[in-house]
Amino acid sequence: MKKICILFCGGTITMKRNKKGALEPFYNAKDLLNFVPQLNQLANISVIQLANIDSTNIEPKFWTILAETIKKNIDTFDGFVITHGTDTMAYTTSAISFALSNIKKPVIFTGSQKPISDIPSDATNNLINSVIVATKFNTGACIVFGPKILRGNRSTKISESTLDAFNSPMVDPLGIISLEPLITSSYKQKINKTSTLMFDPNIAVIKITPGLSQKYLDHIISSDVHGLIFEGFGTGNVPKNLIPFIVKAKDHNLPVIILSQCLNGVARMQLYKVGQDTLKAGAISGEDMTIEAAATKLMWILAQTRDIKKIRKLFLTNIAGEVTID
């Protein structure tokens, strides 16, 4: 049997309601295996407990710990399954896709919308399907959740309550969970020389709204923020009154990434004059990246360089299939 390592991080899957009825971390890694003994029929299972926390409290430094653990054990196991809370799962999966972009083994993220002790719960099927995928397919960093197998850095959480909690809005799923897991599309992994396991968390994300004033943004220039992401209107359009701020940011070596606010949106910056003016001011298009992929990619790049030209070049490079560019 294949050797699969379950990296236990916590999340709803291991929670239990306290006296006030609120969910909080409770069960440990050993408990998880006791709830799903069938896993031992699918693979030779080992467990490493890295944390037991609500994923709302996951920080970028934990991504480094997770990446280091996978890298340390890469020759020992045939694949990895990470149990993780759903709130920030797409962020962590995206981060790992960059930190371990050259990995040639499955790194499967999963969790649940209901605790594993609930009857019924989606936890059991998600865990079983994740282990099966890890024994059969070389997916790289991906999410197995409900009926879908998704590329991690293309995924986003779309529901806080339904069992089909994730989707990849700009690309087809990697596969589906039918009578058994099936891979229905493919991605040719790129070989990248650039790699670090570190992340610089000092970024800010701002969703542009009508009337947003530059004066509210100017303090960012003198703050500890090292990178900025604007979620623009439509195709990534930014109001003209914010153009001077983007110019000022560029002059201070502060990269400004532009995404579309639309779930199925692409930052097509050349389509409108306002978009062209934004690019001319020094902004960088995030194309069709999710906010999770763009944020973690920017943190990953900033951990390597603060040079604005190098940041631009790396951000416009398809590192791990996170964006539809050559």
> Does residue 261 lie within any of the structural domains?
yes
Q: Kindly give the residue spans of alpha helices, DSSP state H, lying in the chain.
A: 29-35, 39-42, 60-72, 89-99, 123-136, 218-221, 243-251, 273-281, 291-302, 308-315
Domain that includes residue 101, residue range: 3-183
> Does residue 189 lie within any of the structural domains?
no
Q: In the predicted model, is pLDDT for residue 271 greater than 70?
A: yes
Instruction: Give one DSSP letter per residue of 255-312, joined into a string.
Output: -EEEEESSTT----TTSSHHHHHHHHHT-EE-TT--HHHHHHHHHHHHTT---HHHHH
In terms of domains, do 20 and 165 share one?
A: yes
Give the chain's largest Cα–Cα span. 61
In terms of domains, do 207 and 117 share one?
A: no
Mean pLDDT calculated for residue range 237-244: 96
- pLDDT value for 183: 87
Mean pLDDT calculated for residue range 41-63: 96
Instruction: Give one DSSP letter per residue of 124-147, joined into a string.
Output: HHHHHHHHHHHHH----EEEEETT
Q: In the predicted model, is pLDDT for residue 318 greater than 60?
A: yes
- pLDDT value for 192: 66
Choosing from 151, 183, 215, the residue where a domain stops is: 183
pLDDT tens readout for residues 6-17: 999 999 999 989
| Catalytic option among 12, 93, 135, 235 | 12
* Cis, peptide link before residue 120, omega less than 30° from 0: yes
Q: In the predicted model, is pLDDT for residue 148 greater than 70?
A: yes
| Torsion angle of C-alpha atoms 240, 242, 243, 248, degrees rounded to 10 | 160
> Does residue 64 lie within any of the structural domains?
yes
For residue 204, the SS3 value is: strand
pLDDT tens readout for residues 159-195: 999 999 999 999 999 999 988 888 888 766 666 666 7
In terms of domains, do 175 and 224 share one?
A: no
In terms of domains, do 214 and 159 share one?
A: no
Helix 291-302, helix 89-99: angle, nearest 10: 40
- Asked if 107 and 100 count as a contact pair (C-beta separation under 8 A), the reply is yes
pLDDT tens readout for residues 84-122: 999 999 999 999 999 999 888 999 999 999 999 999 999
Per-residue confidence at 326, pLDDT binned at 50, 70, 90? low
Would you call 209 a catalytic residue per the annotation? no
- Asked if 116 and 192 count as a contact pair (C-beta separation under 8 A), the reply is no
- pLDDT value for 222: 84
In terms of domains, do 54 and 122 share one?
A: yes
> Does residue 193 lie within any of the structural domains?
no
Per-residue confidence at 216, pLDDT binned at 50, 70, 90? confident
DSSP assigned state of 233: B
Mean pLDDT calculated for residue range 313-318: 95
In whole angstroms, what is the distance from residue 19 CA to residue 14 CA?
17
**Which residue reads 């992929």 in tokens?**
293
In terms of domains, do 114 and 42 share one?
A: yes
- C-alpha closest to that of 86 among 67, 63, 118, 114: 114
- Name residues whose C-beta falls within 8 Å of residue 51's C-beta, 6 or more positions apart in sequence: 8, 9, 10, 62
> Does residue 224 lie within any of the structural domains?
yes
Round the average pLDDT of the chain to a whole number and report it. 94
Per-residue confidence at 26, pLDDT binned at 50, 70, 90? confident
- Name residues whose C-beta falls within 8 Å of residue 165's C-beta, 6 or more positions apart in sequence: 86, 113, 145, 146, 157, 158, 159
- pLDDT value for 187: 66
Q: In the predicted model, is pLDDT for residue 231 greater than 80?
A: yes
- pLDDT value for 195: 75
Mean pLDDT calculated for residue range 272-301: 97
Strand partners, 181: 177
In terms of domains, do 82 and 111 share one?
A: yes
**Region at 161 (left for phi over 0; alpha for psi -120 to 50; beta for the rest):** alpha
In terms of domains, do 159 and 281 share one?
A: no
CATH of the domain at 177: 3.40.50.1170
User: What does each C-alpha distance from 113 to 122, 127, 141, 157 come to in angstroms?
Assistant: 7, 12, 20, 11
CATH of the domain at 292: 3.40.50.40
pTM recorded for the entire structure? 0.96
- Name residues whose C-beta falls within 8 Å of residue 278's C-beta, 6 or more positions apart in sequence: 232, 236, 237, 238, 243, 246, 258, 269
- pLDDT value for 174: 94
Per-residue confidence at 64, pLDDT binned at 50, 70, 90? very high
Q: In the predicted model, is pLDDT for residue 204 greater than 70?
A: yes
Choosing from 153, 183, 213, the residue where a domain stops is: 183
Burial class (CB in 10 A: 0-12, 13-18, 19+), 120: exposed
**Tally of structural domains, the chain:** 2
pLDDT tens readout for residues 129-145: 999 999 999 999 999 99
Q: What share of the chain in percent tops pLDDT 90?
A: 85
**Direct distance between the N- and C-terminal alpha carbons of the chain, in angstroms, rounded to an integer:** 38
